[in-house]
Chain A
Amino acid sequence: MTDLNFVPGQAVDVNLAVRNGAWRVAEYRLRQVTKWWGSIVAFGLGNPILFLLSVGLGVGSLVDANNGAEALGGVGYLQFVAPALLAAAAIQGVMDEVTFPTMDGFVWDKAFFAIGATSVSPKQIANGVMIVALLRGLFTTVLYLGILLAFGAIPVASVLPLLLTSMFAGWGWASLMLAFTARLESDDGYFAIISRFVVTPLFLFSGTFYPLEQMPIYLQPIGWVSPIWHSTELGRFLSYGAEIEPIMFFVHFGYLALMGVVGMSLAYPKFHQRLLK
Chain B
Amino acid sequence: MSTNAAREIVIRAKNLTKRYKDFVAVDGINFEVYRGESFGLLGPNGAGKSTTMKMISSVSQRTDGELTILGKEPNQKGPEIRAHLGIVAQKDLLDRELKVWENLYVYGRYFGLSRKFLKPKIEELLDFAQLQEKRNSKADELSGGMQRRLAIARGLVNEPEILMLDEPTTGLDPQARHILWDRLFRLKEQGVTLVITTHYMDEAEQLCDRLVVMDKGQIMAEGSPQELIKKYSSKEVVEVRFGTDKNEAAAKKLESMGDRIEVLPDRILIYTKHGEQLLSEIVEAGMNPITSLVRRSSLEDVFLRLTGRTLID
Q: What CA separation (Å) do A12 and B160 show in the bound complex?
A: 9
The answer to whether A117 and B97 touch across the interface, beta carbons within 8 angstroms, is: no
* Residue A61 CB within 8 A of the other chain: no
Interface residues of B in 73-90 (CB under 8 A from A): 78-80, 82-85, 87, 89
> Which residues between 99 and 144 of chain A lie within 8 Å of chain B, taking CB atoms?
109-111, 113-121
* A7, B190: Cα distance in complex, Å: 7
Which secondary structure characterizes the binding site on chain A? loop
Residue of B nearest to A124 (CB): B79
CB within 8 Å for A117 and B87 given contacts A7-B191, A111-B95: yes
> Please, which residues of chain A bring their CB within 8 A of the CB of B102?
31
Bound Cα distance A101, B76 (Å):
29
Least Cβ–Cβ distance between B77 and chain A, in angstroms: 9
Digit string of A1-28 for contact with B (CB within 8 Å is 1, else 0)? 1111111111111101111110011011
State whether B91 touches A21 (Cβ < 8 A).
Answer: no
**Residue A275 is within 8 A (CB to CB) of chain B in the complex:** yes
Partner of B93, one of A4, A31, A110, A120: A110
A-B contact count (CB 8 A): 130
Contact string, B137-165, partner A, CB cutoff 8 A, digits 1/0? 00000000000000000001011110000
Contact of A9 among B60, B89, B127, B159 (CB under 8 A): B159
Beta-carbon contact of A12 and B112 below 8 Å: yes
Chain B residues near A35 (CB-CB < 8 A): 97
* Distance to closest chain A CB from B187 (angstroms): 7
B125 on interface, CB distance cutoff 8 Å: yes
Question: B191 — nearest CB in chain A belongs to which residue?
Answer: A8
Which of B110, B111, B127, B156 is the most central at the interface, judged by chain A CB atoms within 10 Å of its CB?
B110
Most buried by A among B89, B158, B161: B158
User: Is B109 an interface position by the 8 A CB rule?
Assistant: yes
Residues from chain B with a CB closer than 8 A to the CB of A109 are 95-96
Chain B residues within an 8 Å CB radius of A21: 79, 110
A3 touches B186 (CB 8 A): yes
* Residues A5 and B190 in contact, CB atoms below 8 Å apart: yes
In the complex, A8→B130 CA distance in Å? 21
Instruction: Decide if A120 touches B79 in the complex (CB within 8 Å).
Output: yes
B23 within 8 A of A: no
CB of B57 within 8 Å of the partner chain: yes
Q: How far is the CA of A10 from the CA of B111 in the complex (A)?
A: 12
A contact residues around B190 at 8 Å (CB): 4-8
* A31-B106, A119-B80 known; A17+B112 contact, CB < 8 A: yes
What is the distance, in angstroms, from B161's C-beta to the closest C-beta of chain A? 4
Docked Cα-Cα span, A13 to B79, in Å, equals 12
Q: Do residues A32 and B159 form an inter-chain contact, with CB atoms below 8 A?
A: no
Write the nearest CB–CB distance from B107 to chain A, whole angstroms.
Answer: 7
Report the contact-size class of chain A (Cβ under 8 Å from the partner).
35 or more
Interface string of B107-149 (1 = CB under 8 A from A): 1011111000100010011011010000000000000000000
On chain B, which size bracket covers the interface?
A: 35 or more
| Residue B47 interfacial (CB < 8 Å) | no
Q: Assuming the A-B contacts A11-B158, A12-B159, are A113 and B59 also in contact, with contact meaning beta carbons closer than 8 angstroms in the complex?
A: yes
Contact A2 B112 (CB under 8 A): no
A3/B79 contact (C-beta < 8 A), A28-B109, A115-B110, A117-B89 known = no
Q: Are A24 and B191 in touch, CB under 8 angstroms?
A: no
Q: How far is the CA of A221 from the CA of B109 in the complex (A)?
A: 47
Task: A93 to B107: give the CA distance in the assembly, Å.
Answer: 27
Q: Which residues of B contact A184 (CB under 8 A)?
A: none
Contact of B263 with A by CB under 8 A: no
Is A258 interfacial (CB-CB < 8 Å)?
no
Give the residue name and chain of the A residue nearest to B192 (CB): A8
Q: How far is the CB of B233 from chain A (nearest CB, A)?
A: 35
Are the C-beta atoms of B113 and A12 separated by less than 8 Å? yes
Asked if A276 is an interface residue, CB under 8 A from chain B, the answer is yes
* 8 Å CB contact of B98 from A25, A31, A118: A31
Among B183-213, those with CB < 8 Å from A are 186-187, 190-193
Question: In the complex, A160 Cα to B213 Cα: how many Å?
Answer: 65
- If the complex has contacts A6-B190, A17-B79, A121-B78, are A1 and B127 also in contact, measured as CB distance less than 8 A? yes
In the complex, the answer to whether B83 meets A18 with C-beta atoms within 8 Å is yes
Q: Which residues of A contact B186 (CB under 8 A)?
A: 3-4
Is B61 an interface residue when CB atoms closer than 8 A count as contact?
yes
B190 to chain A, nearest CB (A): 7
Q: Tell me which residues across on chain B come within 8 A of A110, comparing CB atoms.
A: 91, 93
CB atoms of B127 and A2 under 8 A apart: yes
Q: Complex formed: what's the CA distance from A115 to B94 in Å?
A: 10
Per the bound structure, the CA–CA distance linking A25 and B79 in Å amounts to: 14
Alpha-carbon distance A142/B96, docked complex (angstroms): 31
Residue with the greatest number of chain A CB neighbours at <10 A, chosen from B87, B109, B121, B125: B109
Sample of 16 more A-B contacts, CB < 8 Å, known A11-B159, A17-B83, A120-B110: A1-B130, A6-B159, A8-B84, A8-B190, A9-B161, A14-B80, A17-B158, A20-B112, A32-B98, A109-B96, A110-B93, A114-B93, A118-B82, A118-B111, A121-B79, A277-B61
CB within 8 Å of A: which residues of B? 57, 59-61, 78-80, 82-85, 87, 89, 91, 93-98, 102, 106-107, 109-113, 117, 121, 124-125, 127-128, 130, 156, 158-161, 186-187, 190-193
